[in-house]
Amino acid sequence: MSPSGKTTRETFTLKQLVNPTEAQLRRAGRLTYELMSKDPALISLCGGDPDLMEPLGLAMVRAGALEGEFYAAVDGSDDILGFVMTMPKGKVLFSTEEQKKLGFYDFMSRLSEAGKRYYADTYLKIFPQYVASCIAPLTMVDIWWIHTCMTRVESQGQGIASGLIRMILDKALAAGDVIGLSTTTEVNVRIYESMGFKVIGHRGCPSPWGDWEFWVLRYEPTQS
């Protein structure tokens, strides 16, 4: 805070990081833990083990940086203040061996037996199938899917998330493609709706570590 009590706006640049450094990717993975450590969906995917949250986040951003697209707000020292990871049309997260070798296999090897059962018997039978029903007749291969959107707490409220998502929207819409995402918090639903996304599905998911719910949204361009 400044002496006057007003929030000091940071200087940052919004850009696509075509080849993010390992330090930047680790910062992104850490942000996932910092912002979602109490999220029941992430807790469930990690089998109730908070030590696996950061490795899962890192596995996702590494895979996304390899075969998807990674956008970030960086300060003067190239530290990440916020980021968005998306898989563009034609790409699906963790669908290739190359992606999985960047952390997903390690994460799964550390997951408890209860966590592995939950992932296979509950999560995979509910989340991807419900998303597929929401976006049908399209499939995940046919659309852009925004997987992760994070902004560190002290940098929020400065247009970082909306600016990064707008970069993705502009690129996808220019190609005539559809953009979708999901969120596990109702607060985020309202934020995404303010950007032009529309809820196309909502349901709950049971879990031994706390039931959770999620919303599926699709960007709906304003008709002139």
What is the per-residue pLDDT across 94-127, written as a single tens digit (0 to 9) for each? 999 999 999 999 999 999 999 999 999 999 999 9
Q: What is the pLDDT of residue 224?
A: 40
Q: How confident is the model at residue 220 (pLDDT cuts 50, 70, 90)?
A: confident
Cα 25 to its chain centre, rounded Å, is 13
Assess contact for 197 and 223: CB atoms under 8 A: no
Q: What is the pLDDT of residue 222?
A: 65
Phi first, then psi: what are they for 206, rounded to 5°? -75, 155
Question: Which residue in 211, 224, 72 sits closest to 149, CA to CA?
Answer: 72
Sign of the torsion angle spanned by Cα atoms 115, 87, 35, 211: negative
Q: pLDDT digit string (tens) for 14-66?
A: 999 999 999 999 999 999 999 999 999 999 999 999 999 999 999 999 999 99
Q: What is the pLDDT of residue 9?
A: 64
Q: What is the pLDDT of residue 8?
A: 52
Angle at 73 between CA 82 and CA 69, to 5 degrees: 85
Which of residues 41 and 76 earns the better pLDDT score? 41
Domains of the chain, CATH where assigned: 13-219 (3.40.630.30)
Q: pLDDT digit string (tens) for 136-188?
A: 999 999 999 999 999 999 989 999 999 999 999 999 999 999 999 999 999 99
